[in-house]
Amino acid sequence: MKKVLMMHGPSHNMFGHRDKNLYGTVTYEEINRKMEETAKELGLELEIFQSNHEGDFIDKVQEAFFQKVDAVIANPGGWTNSSIAVKDALDILTCPRVEVHMSNVFKKHNGTAQAETAKTATGVIIGFGAEAYCLALQAVAAILKD
């Protein structure tokens, strides 16, 4: 069974409680539950990780590299546009990497968002709300099948 690591960034544990106009009312727990169901249907083993701390997030990326996970899905959240350290860490991965965002990150910051972490991803799924996470799993399953 192929192993996929889902990495949630800062404040994602607060989905359903913050910025409901932007992220909706679905909770972090509901997103993860739906991802686990989808992963099972796709025959994937899923590990879910969330951190509000940049260093812990980077440590987990490096751990994934050494454990040779088959794919990584990442939503770096607030680090997407601003953290070269997170981008550099994600760049070491040799497995497929799909970046996912619930909202269209290019609509934020007056359209000046750069999505630094997405520039070297295998693919990016944005703007589909909580469904973006399951779409990312489907994309990973298709990539790993080839």
Q: Which residues are annotated as a binding site?
A: 75, 88, 102-103
Residue 102 pairs with which residues in a beta bridge? none
| Gap between the terminal Cα atoms of the chain | 15
Residue 28 · residue 15 · CB < 8 Å? yes
CA distances from 120 to 41, 57, 93, 123 (A): 28, 17, 10, 8
H helical segments located in the chain: 20-23, 28-42, 54-67, 84-91, 131-145
Task: Enumerate the known binding-site residues for substrate.
Answer: 75, 88, 102-103
CA 54 vs. chain centroid, Å, equals: 14
Which amino acid, one-letter code, is at 25? T
C-alpha to C-alpha distance for 114 and 1, rounded to whole angstroms: 35
How far is it, in rounded angstroms, from Cα 113 to Cα 145? Answer: 32
23 noted as active-site residue: yes
Catalytic hit among 8, 12, 28, 101: 101
Q: Residue 101 catalytic?
A: yes
Catalytic-labelled residue, pool 8, 23, 28, 133: 23
Active site residues: 23, 101
